[in-house]
């Protein structure tokens, strides 16, 4: 909602156009330079529109938070088995939304036509060109010609960012929530909680208030960040020209994993004779994300096949209840995270002087070893926890005591153990 | 005495409030009594928080109007308003509205009877499948898929009118034999201005500087260092070399030139792309020596006429990222 609100405000001032103008605005270091109208209007709304910079920065912070929140949510769903039937369809919708959100963010920060936008688009174009057989056509199609493309490209990007993708995400959110409400939310095992019922606070009024409270709290943090913590100071990057570049450039965080994959991929193309068939950026820019998302999409079916459990589930697993799933998830997220960190190898080199070549080999090794390690470790820990039924991190061993009719005291079952003792299956 | 006065005052205050409320609610049904957690303190606190949020919001408006809209203060004011609202709402949800935990039956999605029937049918179907070869369902599914594919292709085809045909578009280049090199301000590039170790961005005279194939990197090394392939022997007069400025990996501009003073520590004069650190050997004609790039950097043969740098031919390869069908090059 904040993204939509601040976004609408920004569109009132932004002008998506690459026609060149000479800058006469209020930022002195750029005066006299030829820049695009898009970049000029972004500068003007930052410097000359009251509260414009605040709104732009809140918009950017909100975008970063949006993707992060989806990712954390995905992890919760994955590790607790909430993706199982009857919620598998909703899980696929959620994954689709994550992809759209990443795309939406990329389109957003590419619009401004500052140096970083342009470098991001150059890489995006190279990835598009790298698709086997149709790449050249796809790249030329989207950009309206060879990179950096025509005027039409910026308006396409703009429409994608402010209309097509938001509508897609918005309608998916609506479906997503409706599909949470219809079979009701999942719950952990506990006193009085069964596969067939749902225990919790009713939506109105307490839960609604709490949700609104959370919304306001998030908004508060975002406005504090937008007001106090500078983000993407486009006036420092300068305008983009295809022949300009800067060292140590980094995209928004949710693209880090793709940059990492582009970096780590050894340099090879698939060639026939002296002709390229599959250029290198295809591996990191297309195959890698498809692999990750493909696996996440396929996981519910894989798990059904592995465990033979095709029943509907309304009760959540604790991560330890299903060591194999938890271990697979941990390995997958470790793998992506390692490659994500590899994306910042150039920063580590520019900022701290860590030798780049060494880093690259270390990350390549880590991207194979760490996931295996994570798998083994997680599986061990889960199995141990499940066997011992211990609750490290849950502080108190207190027992509930009640007074009965005769006036003497008796101890109740410890809270939370009912129904927890044995998981359904191994 | 004073205590009594205070008590009297309070009493009058309450009567007054009650009177106002009664007057406001005249003619209306009395409120039904509700069971609420008795926490007047929480109610007052929430009210205070809400008022605070309102004040902070007003402060935002005032700052916007009078204080030249200082970004930091505006952010703080908005954050304070929303933060207070958040606390108020959360406190209200915990201490004011009824606290209850209800249990509700889940709706069932599948009739267990029907499910069992379906299972039986499924098994029967599978048994028949072995005999009949293909089930009706699978046949229809496959046919439906084919229809969807065809219709999808038909729907997607108009998208092609978004862009021009590729043709030779990705191979186009303004460089021909005799094209002069100009700098960023469109002045001719003079060979004498470039010393050993120099690095300059140049463009094809008369071309659009945003054209991907136009921009060049011109560097100068000592002629005796050169190890160019034999067929490029005369491409680098006086040790002057020109390469496309666009990386063959992901099309970033190659803006780093490494010309080491101590060759032992960092090998050869090389051009480095800042995006993913693809590195190209200048002395060997743009051969890739490190990083994810595969194709070499296209080199432009140079000649010097009246002190000015001119192209002596076309670029040695396609500019920019590879696509299916581009020549791999040496």
Q: Look up residue A258 and give its two tokens.
A: 């793709």
Q: Write down the pLDDT at residue A96.
A: 95
What interface predicted TM-score (ipTM) does this complex get?
Answer: 0.79
Q: Can you tell me the distance from the alpha carbon of B82 to that of A219, in angstroms, rounded to the nearest whole number?
A: 6
Give CA A327 to chain center in angstroms: 21
CATH 1.10.10.10 for domain A2-192+201-316: no
Burial class of residue A147, CB neighbours in 10 A (0-12, 13-18, 19+): buried
Q: Can you tell me the distance from the alpha carbon of A46 to that of A117, in angstroms, rounded to the nearest whole number?
A: 17
Cβ atoms of A186 and A82 closer than 8 Å: yes
Query: pLDDT band for position A204 (50/70/90)?
Result: low
Same domain, B77 and B180: no
Rg from Cα positions in chain B: 39
Answer yes or no: is B144 within a domain.
no
| B305 phi/psi in degrees, rounded to 5 | -130, 120
Give CA B22 to chain center in angstroms: 60
**B145-177 pLDDT tens trace:** 877 777 777 777 666 666 566 667 788 899 999
**Closest CB from B74, B87, B249 relative to A51:** B74
Answer yes or no: is B114 within a domain.
no
Q: Write down the pLDDT at residue B164.
A: 61
Percent of chain B as helix, strand, coil, to the nearest 5: 40, 15, 45
DSSP A388-422: HT--TT-------EEE-TTS-EEEPPPTT-TTTSS
Cβ atoms of B246 and B212 closer than 8 Å: yes
Answer yes or no: is B19 within a domain.
no
Give chain B's length: 330
Q: Write down the pLDDT at residue B169.
A: 79
**A95-107 pLDDT tens trace:** 999 999 999 999 9
Overall pTM > 0.95:
no
| pLDDT score of A202 more than 70 | no
Other Cβ atoms closer than 10 A to B98 = 12
Chain B neighbours among A 210-239 (CB < 8 Å)? 210, 212-217, 219-221, 223-228
Q: Before A148, cis peptide (omega within 30)?
A: yes
Q: Look up residue A16 and give its two tokens.
A: 């998506």
Q: Write down the pLDDT at residue A329.
A: 94
Answer yes or no: is B265 within a domain.
yes
Q: Can you tell me the distance from the alpha carbon of A102 to that of A71, in angstroms, rounded to the nearest whole number?
A: 11
Query: pLDDT band for position B213 (50/70/90)?
Result: very high
Q: B320 to chain A nearest CA, in Å?
A: 8
Q: Write down the pLDDT at residue A133.
A: 82
**A285-328 pLDDT tens trace:** 999 999 999 999 999 999 999 888 888 888 888 888 899 999 99
| pLDDT score of B252 more than 60 | yes
Q: B234 to chain A nearest CA, in Å?
A: 25
| pLDDT score of A415 more than 60 | no
Cβ atoms of A145 and B163 closer than 8 Å: yes
> Domain end: B98, B127, B149, which one?
B98
Query: pLDDT band for position A392 (50/70/90)?
Result: low
Chain A neighbours among B 116-175 (CB < 8 Å)? 159-160, 162-166, 169-170, 172
Q: Which residues, other chains included, contact B7 with Cβ-Cβ below 8 Å and sequence gap of 6+?
A: none
A355 touches chain B (CB under 8 A): no
Same domain, B291 and B176: yes
Same domain, B218 and B87: no
Cβ atoms of B60 and B71 closer than 8 Å: no
Choice among A11-25, A76-90, B86-100, B151-165 with the minimum mean pLDDT:
A11-25
Helices (H), chain B: 2-24, 40-66, 71-95, 112-132, 136-156
Average per-residue pLDDT for chain B: 81
**Residue contact A274–B72, C-beta within 8 A:** no
Query: pLDDT band for position B330 (50/70/90)?
Result: very low
Answer yes or no: is B11 within a domain.
no
More confident residue, A269 or A398: A269
Cβ atoms of A370 and A330 closer than 8 Å: no
Q: Look up residue B224 and give its two tokens.
A: 């005796």
Average per-residue pLDDT for chain A: 83
Q: Write down the pLDDT at residue A420.
A: 41
Same domain, B302 and B195: yes
* Inter-axis angle of helices A288-307 and A52-80, nearest 10: 30
Query: pLDDT band for position A93 (50/70/90)?
Result: very high
Q: A333 to chain B nearest CA, in Å?
A: 23
Choice among A2-6, A234-238, A346-350, B118-122 with the minimum mean pLDDT:
A2-6
Same domain, B184 and B295: yes
**Among A354, A371, A324, A180, residue whose Cα is nearest residue B277:** A354
Q: A96 to chain B nearest CA, in Å?
A: 19
DSSP state of B157: G
Dihedral angle computed from the Cα positions of residues B192, B196, B197 and B198, in that order, rounded to the nearest 10 degrees: 0
Query: pLDDT band for position A191 (50/70/90)?
Result: low
Instruction: Return the H-helix or E-strand segment holding A99.
Output: helix A88-110
| A406 phi/psi in degrees, rounded to 5 | -75, -10
Question: In total, how many domains does chain B have?
Answer: 2
Query: pLDDT band for position A366 (50/70/90)?
Result: very high
The rounded percent of chain B whose pLDDT value lies above 90 is 27
Q: Look up residue B211 and give its two tokens.
A: 């054209």
**A13-30 pLDDT tens trace:** 555 555 666 666 667 777
Q: How far is CA A20 from CA A36, B194, B302, in A?
A: 4, 31, 32
Query: pLDDT band for position A422 (50/70/90)?
Result: very low
Closest-CA residue in chain A for B160?
A: A141
Cβ atoms of B197 and B259 closer than 8 Å: yes
Q: Write down the pLDDT at residue B108.
A: 63
| pLDDT score of A76 more than 60 | yes
> Domain end: B83, B98, B113, which one?
B98
Chain A neighbours among B 165-184 (CB < 8 Å)? 165-166, 169-170, 172
**A274-296 pLDDT tens trace:** 788 889 999 999 999 999 999 99
Q: Can you tell me the distance from the alpha carbon of A25 to that of A232, in angstroms, rounded to the nearest whole number?
A: 19
Domain range for B256 is 172-311
Q: Write down the pLDDT at residue A395.
A: 54
**Among B297, B303, B320, B307, residue whose Cα is nearest residue B179:** B303
């Amino acid at each position: 909602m904040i993204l939509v609100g601040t976004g609408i405000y920004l569109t009132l001032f932004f002008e998506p156009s690459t026609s060149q103008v000479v800058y006469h605005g209020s930022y002195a270091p750029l005066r006299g330079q030829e820049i695009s109208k898009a970049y000029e209007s972004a500068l003007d709304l930052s410097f000359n529109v009251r509260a414009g910079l605040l709104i732009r920065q809140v918009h950017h912070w909100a975008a970063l938070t949006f993707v992060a929140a989806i990712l954390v949510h995905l992890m919760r769903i994955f590790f607790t088995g909430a993706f199982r039937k009857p919620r598998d369809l909703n899980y696929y919708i959620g994954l689709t939304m994550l992809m759209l959100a990443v795309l939406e963010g990329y389109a957003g920060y590419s619009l401004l036509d500052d140096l970083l936008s342009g470098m991001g688009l150059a890489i995006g174009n190279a990835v598009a060109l790298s698709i086997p057989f149709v790449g050249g056509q796809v790249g030329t199609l989207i950009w309206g010609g060879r990179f950096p493309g025509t005027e039409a490209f910026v308006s396409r990007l703009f429409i994608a960012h402010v209309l097509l993708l938001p509508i897609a995400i918005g309608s998916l959110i609506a479906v997503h929530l409706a599909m949470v409400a219809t079979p009701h939310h999942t719950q952990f095992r506990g006193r009085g909680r069964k596969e067939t019922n749902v225990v919790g606070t009713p939506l109105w009024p307490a839960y609604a208030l709490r949700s609104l409270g959370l919304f306001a709290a998030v908004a508060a943090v975002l406005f504090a960040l937008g007001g106090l913590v500078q983000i993407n100071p486009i006036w420092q990057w300068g305008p983009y020209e295809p022949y300009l570049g800067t060292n140590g450039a980094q995209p928004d965080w949710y693209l880090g994993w793709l940059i990492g994959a582009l970096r780590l991929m050894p340099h090879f193309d698939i060639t026939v004779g002296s002709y390229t068939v599959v250029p290198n950026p295809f591996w990191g820019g297309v195959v890698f994300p498809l692999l990750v998302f493909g696996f996440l999409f396929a996981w519910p079916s894989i798990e059904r096949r592995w465990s033979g459990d095709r029943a509907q589930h309304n009760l959540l697993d604790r991560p330890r209840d299903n060591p194999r799933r938890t271990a697979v998830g941990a390995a997958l997220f470790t793998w992506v995270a390692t490659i994500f960190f590899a994306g910042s190898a150039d920063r580590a080199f520019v900022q701290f002087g860590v030798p780049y070549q060494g880093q690259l080999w270390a990350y390549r090794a880590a991207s194979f070893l760490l996931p295996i390690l994570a798998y083994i470790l997680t599986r061990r820990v889960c199995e141990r926890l499940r066997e011992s039924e211990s609750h490290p991190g849950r502080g108190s061993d207190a027992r509930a005591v009640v007074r009965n009719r005769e006036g003497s005291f008796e101890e109740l079952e410890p809270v939370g153990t009912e129904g927890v003792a044995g998981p359904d299956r191994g | 005495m004073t205590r009594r006065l205070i008590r009297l005052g309070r009493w009058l205050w309450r009567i007054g409030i009650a009177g106002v409320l009664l007057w406001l609610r005249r003619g209306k049904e009395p409120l039904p009594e509700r069971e609420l957690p008795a926490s007047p303190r929480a109610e007052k606190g929430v009210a205070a928080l809400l008022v605070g949020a309102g004040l902070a919001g007003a402060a935002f408006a005032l700052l916007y109007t009078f204080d030249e809209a200082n970004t930091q203060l505006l952010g703080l004011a908005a954050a304070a308003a929303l933060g207070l609202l958040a606390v108020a709402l959360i406190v209200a949800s915990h201490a004011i509205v009824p606290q209850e935990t209800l249990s509700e039956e889940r709706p069932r999605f599948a009739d267990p009877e029907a499910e069992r029937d379906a299972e039986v049918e499924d098994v029967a179907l599978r048994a028949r499948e072995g005999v009949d070869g293909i089930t009706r369902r699978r046949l229809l599914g496959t046919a439906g898929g084919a229809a969807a594919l065809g219709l999808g292709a038909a729907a997607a085809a108009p998208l092609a009118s978004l862009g021009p045909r590729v043709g030779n578009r990705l191979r186009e280049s303004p460089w021909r034999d005799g094209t002069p090199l100009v700098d960023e301000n469109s002045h001719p590039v003079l060979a004498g201005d470039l010393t050993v170790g120099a690095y300059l961005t140049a463009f094809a005279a008369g071309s659009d500087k945003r054209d991907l194939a136009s921009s060049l990197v011109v560097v100068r090394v000592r002629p005796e260092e050169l190890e160019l392939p034999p067929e490029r022997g005369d491409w680098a007069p006086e040790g002057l070399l020109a390469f496309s400025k666009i990386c063959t990996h992901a099309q970033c501009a190659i803006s780093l030139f490494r010309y080491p003073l101590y060759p032992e520590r960092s090998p050869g004069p090389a051009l480095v792309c800042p995006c993913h650190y693809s590195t190209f050997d200048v002395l060997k004609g743009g051969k890739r020596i490190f990083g994810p790039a595969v194709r070499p950097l296209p080199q432009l043969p140079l000649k010097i006429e009246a002190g000015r740098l001119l192209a002596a031919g076309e670029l040695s390869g396609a500019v920019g990222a590879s696509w299916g069908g581009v020549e791999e090059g040496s």
